[in-house]
Amino acid sequence: MTIEQSTIKQTTMAAAFIATLKRDLLISFKKKNDVVNPFMFFVIVVSLFPIGISPDSDRLSEIAAGVIWISVLLASMLSMDNLYRSDYEDGSLEQLLLSPHPLFFMVLAKNLSHWLVSGLPVVLISPLLAYMLNLPQAAYFTLICSLLIGTPIMSLVGSIAVALTVGLGSRGLILAVITLPMSVPVLIFGTLSVQASLNNTSPAGYLALMLAMLAVAVSLAPLASATALRISVN
Amino acid sequence: MWLWFSKLGSPKWFYELSGRWLPWLIAAMTIFITVGVIWGLLYLPPDYQQGYTSRILIVHVAVAGTSLAFFPLMAVAGVITMVWRMKLADMVAKMAAPIGAWFSFLTLATGSIWGSISWGTWWEWTDARLVTMLFQLFLLLGVISLRSALEDQDKAAKACALLSIVGLINVVVIKYSVEWWNVLHQVASPVSLSADSPNGPQFWIAIAIMIVAMYLFLSVSLILATRNEILQRERRSQWVQDLVRQS
Amino acid sequence: MSSAISESLRDEPNSQAMLSAQNLFCERDERVLFSELNFALDKGQVLQVQGSNGSGKTTLMRILCGLNDSYEGSIYWHGEKIERQTESFFASLLYIGHRAGVSKVLTPIENLRWSCSLKQQIDDEQILSALAEVGLRGFEESPCYTLSAGQQQRVSLARLLASPAQLWVLDEPFTTLDRTGVALLEKMLQTQAASGGAVLVTTHHKLDIPALNILSLG
Amino acid sequence: MLEAIQFSSFSEFIHMGGYGFKIWSVYGLFAIFIAANLLLPMRKRKQILREQKRRLTINDEISRNI
């Protein structure tokens, strides 16, 4: 047996992408805590607001969209920490970096899997919480749409900060300090779109803007995450 | 070749060049600050609308305008660090972040003092500029805390370079989204910090002088800090040791 | 500072050699780890990197497989700089570091399915036979946290068998292995060399391999 | 030059149309800001030089004794 390049059947990029996605989903499925805890955190934080502010349904309906958006933000940041850390600790990240396929797509696969297990469930439960916060019916659809577009942006942007801090022994709150200011634009347009449908104007403009932001994030953020990972593993 | 040049040549070259320039820069800075402050305090006529508060504005606008330079500066230094691995660029970026935080903080402080007179409140969420400045301060603090968290100097240099580039994009996006956000929250918009209100040419000359003064001050403080950083990082090199012996 | 295997490399990259390094220089925390390091590694060779603790063995390994880029000098893969052909270089490289690259929550077979398919197409048969060869028959479906450190190391060794690669870069692969594991790995190194591959390995272990070259650091 | 000064008396200059305290505190902050960013690096420079000089003399002595 001789080892020549021609005898080795290389995987296609798509196959490597799918393998990484499958693996991450499998790990999330096996480590249920990492998935369930951020979700529970989200539900609990949202239910604390009425207690802290006021049970008055009119006031709640005013702040509902903002409360849900900020809680989503915090929950997504919390779940983010696991994105690369265990891979870094067990050495899988090195294997990922040594893949012959562009790291961009491998990072994208990991971000996608992270969003599927942490972003999507939050989006799906949000109508229930919106009901509990007395958000007017007219805004439900917009809220879900804006969350559907906004949560992947947060995953993609947060991934950069996680990648930068993955090698740190004591990350503490540094992740929050870096990520939270970055999510201001998403928060603004997310809440503005809900506000628009509450005012009976069309939220389409904001959602389109958010879609544009998502497009930019998908094309640039994995590049930054990949660079950050190479720096951190260096 | 390039690597060798940037690694060994640059800090020394910068140190010597900046040593020659520093007296002139300090002299120019002193003149501009003195002229600007005296002009502002003594000669600036009270604005018919804003009264004496234009004296605050000249400081505030100059500091604010200068603090906008920090993220572009750090991002450019970051690109140089990542592409050409020039150590000097990283030293400049490292020292720029805290100075930038100072600038942003002073912008916020003077802005809110101005606001307390003109708006009757110390903080106004409807002013896009102050809100943007607040988030710029947060982003700068993020860069600083990332720098202090990473122990490996090389890693810290690259990580902060990347974060500065991402941060620059973010500041720009935040600026536009906050402006948009304000336009749409049709709160009775207070007098903005811009040139809406009629001010005489005296005011604009004062602001121009102060802006030049602040950029000079930025360069002087950045050069001073960078020279310290060079002395520390290059302490093993022969020229720094000679310099220390002579001192 | 360090012994060079092939002094003739100094001027021109050896296009015959599979992997060669020229004038490598690396400094870490203001301490020079190595400078003017030259060596060449050819088909059928095993190169053992030796050196005391902290002499930069791990750093060298990470530099050579492209994980660390804070070095000066040039590294050539088949006579061409590695930066210019990372894809084909990574495709023909297998690296095992201090950390095995094995996720603890996954089973050995799930781990290998992923890590092998980053590089090449592979089916479960190949994975199963590789796992059997490293002595993990019966453990294929148990999560890796139930395995011992040595067994986890064997999972990552199975990767070497399941997906053939021209170059193996192994950083202290013997540390957690028991005696049969050591013998197994030595045999694997020999087979790799005999079949036209090459191995870079750091270890304090005395290797009993005919095609062995030694590079000493520090 | 003197005619152009906007104040007729010193107390009016301090008072600044009732906003004296706020305006002066802006200039005070400004002064502190400038002084801090110039003096702190200068002090640090002295500190660095002193420390490095001490280290160098220790090193020199060690090498002389050898």
pLDDT of A106 > 90? The answer is yes
At what angle are helices B201-233 and B10-38 packed, to 10 degrees? Answer: 150
Contacts B154 to C, Cβ<8 Å: 70
Closest CA to C192 of C24, C36, C7, C46: C46
CB D10 within 8 A of CB B48: no
pLDDT of B192 > 60? The answer is no
Instruction: Give CA separation, B106 vs B59, B76, C70, in Å.
Output: 10, 24, 38
Within an 8 Å CB–CB cutoff, is residue B191 touching chain A?
Answer: no
pLDDT of C2 > 50? The answer is no
Q: Is residue D17 part of a domain?
A: no
Nearest CA in chain A to C69: A234
pLDDT of B103 > 50? The answer is yes
Is C1-92+166-218 CATH 3.40.47.10? no
Average pLDDT rounded to a whole number, residues A45-59: 90
Contacts A160 to B, Cβ<8 Å: 162-163, 166
Closest CA to C170 of C46, C27, C36: C46
pLDDT of residue C15: 59
Residues A139-166: pLDDT tens digits? Answer: 999 999 999 999 999 999 999 999 999 9
pLDDT of A84 > 80? The answer is yes
pLDDT confidence tier of residue A214, bands split at 50, 70 and 90: very high
Give me the sign of the Cα torsion angle B184, B190, B193, B195. Answer: positive
Kind and range of the H or E element at B125?
none
DSSP 3-state assignment of B189?
A: coil
Average pLDDT rounded to a whole number, residues C78-96: 89
Q: Identify which of C70, C114, C165 has the shortest CB distance to residue A23.
A: C114
Closest CA to A118 of A194, A29, A180: A29
pLDDT of residue A7: 57
pLDDT of residue B199: 60
Task: Flag the least confident range among A3-17, A94-108, A214-228.
Answer: A3-17
Phi-psi region of C70 (alpha: psi -120 to 50; beta: other; left: phi over 0): beta
DSSP 3-state assignment of B47?
A: strand
pLDDT confidence tier of residue B196, bands split at 50, 70 and 90: very low
pLDDT of residue B188: 41
| Per-residue DSSP letter, C46 | E
Q: Is residue D33 part of a domain?
A: no
pTM, to two decimals: 0.89
- Are B113 and D4 in contact (CB < 8 Å)? no
The CA distance from B11 to B9, in Å, is 6
Bridge partner residues of C198 (DSSP): C167
For chain B, domain boundaries: 24-188+199-246
Average pLDDT rounded to a whole number, residues B114-121: 84
CB A115 within 8 A of CB A217: no
The CA distance from B114 to D17, in Å, is 14
pLDDT of residue B85: 85
Task: Flag the least confident range among A137-146, B105-114, C116-125, D28-37.
Answer: C116-125
For chain A, domain boundaries: 12-233
Buried b or exposed e, range A172-208, using 16+ CB within 10 angstroms:
eebbbbbbbbbbbbbbbbbbbbbbbbbeeeebeebbe
pLDDT of residue C155: 93
Phi, psi of A93 (to 5 degrees): -65, -40
Residue B224 is encoded by which pair of tokens?
Answer: 């001073």
Interface test with B, best of C30, C63, C68 (most B CBs within 10 A): C30
Task: Flag the least confident range among A30-39, A127-136, B122-131, C128-137.
Answer: B122-131
Count of helices and strands (H, E) across chain C: 6, 9
CB pairs under 8 A between B and D: 89
Q: Identify which of B44, B232, B241 has the shortest CB distance to residue D48.
A: B232
- Are A98 and C65 in contact (CB < 8 Å)? yes
pLDDT averaged over every residue in chain A: 90
Within an 8 Å CB–CB cutoff, is residue B170 touching chain A?
Answer: yes
Instruction: Give CA separation, A156 vs A162, A216, B181, in Å.
Output: 10, 10, 23
Task: Flag the least confident range among A144-158, B35-49, B116-130.
Answer: B35-49
Closest CA to A48 of A66, A65, A71, A69: A71
Q: Is residue D29 part of a domain?
A: no
Q: Which of residues 90-149 of B touch A (CB under 8 A)?
A: 135, 138-139, 141-142, 145-146, 149
- Are B37 and D27 in contact (CB < 8 Å)? yes
Bridge partner residues of C212 (DSSP): C46
Q: Is residue D56 part of a domain?
A: yes
DSSP 3-state assignment of C14?
A: coil
Q: Which amino acid is at B120?
A: G
Give me the sign of the Cα torsion angle C161, C166, C172, C174. Answer: positive
pLDDT averaged over every residue in chain C: 86
- Are C70 and B154 in contact (CB < 8 Å)? yes
DSSP 3-state assignment of A136?
A: coil
Q: B195-199, B212-216, C75-79 — which one is most confidently predicted on average?
A: B212-216
Give me the sign of the Cα torsion angle A74, A75, A78, A79. Answer: negative
Q: Percent of chain B scored above 90 by pLDDT?
A: 52
- Are B139 and A227 in contact (CB < 8 Å)? no
pLDDT of C172 > 70? The answer is yes
Average pLDDT rounded to a whole number, residues D51-57: 90
Residues A23-42: pLDDT tens digits? Answer: 999 999 998 888 898 899 99
User: Residue D50's domain spans which residues?
Assistant: 41-66
Q: Is residue D30 part of a domain?
A: no
Bridge partner residues of C214 (DSSP): C48
The CA distance from A217 to A186, in Å, is 11
pLDDT of B232 > 80? The answer is yes
A58 HSE (CA, 13 A, CB side) = 0
The CA distance from C41 to C58, in Å, is 17
Average pLDDT rounded to a whole number, residues A5-33: 85
Instruction: Give CA separation, B221 vs B65, B103, B247, C29, C129, in Å.
Output: 17, 12, 21, 27, 66
User: CB under 8 Å to C66, separation ≥6 — which residues?
Assistant: A98, C82, C86, C89, C90, C93
pLDDT confidence tier of residue C18, bands split at 50, 70 and 90: confident
pLDDT of D66 > 70? The answer is yes
pLDDT of residue B33: 95
Q: Which of the other chains make 3 or more beta carbon contacts under 8 angstroms with chain C?
A: A, B
B140 HSE (CA, 13 A, CB side) = 27
Task: Flag the least confident range among A208-217, B101-110, C45-54.
Answer: C45-54
Strand order in the sheet with C31-41: C31-41, C19-28, C72-77, C80-81
Within an 8 Å CB–CB cutoff, is residue B4 touching chain C?
Answer: yes
User: CB under 8 Å to B195, separation ≥6 — which residues?
Assistant: none
Ordered alpha helix ranges (H), C118-148: 124-133
The CA distance from B135 to A179, in Å, is 11
pLDDT of B47 > 80? The answer is no
Average pLDDT rounded to a whole number, residues C57-78: 89
Task: Give D65→chain B minimum CA distance, Å.
Answer: 19
Q: A49-63, A191-205, B217-231, C75-89 — which one is most confidently predicted on average?
A: B217-231
pLDDT of residue A150: 95
Average pLDDT rounded to a whole number, residues A37-54: 92
Q: Which CATH class is domain B24-188+199-246?
A: mainly alpha
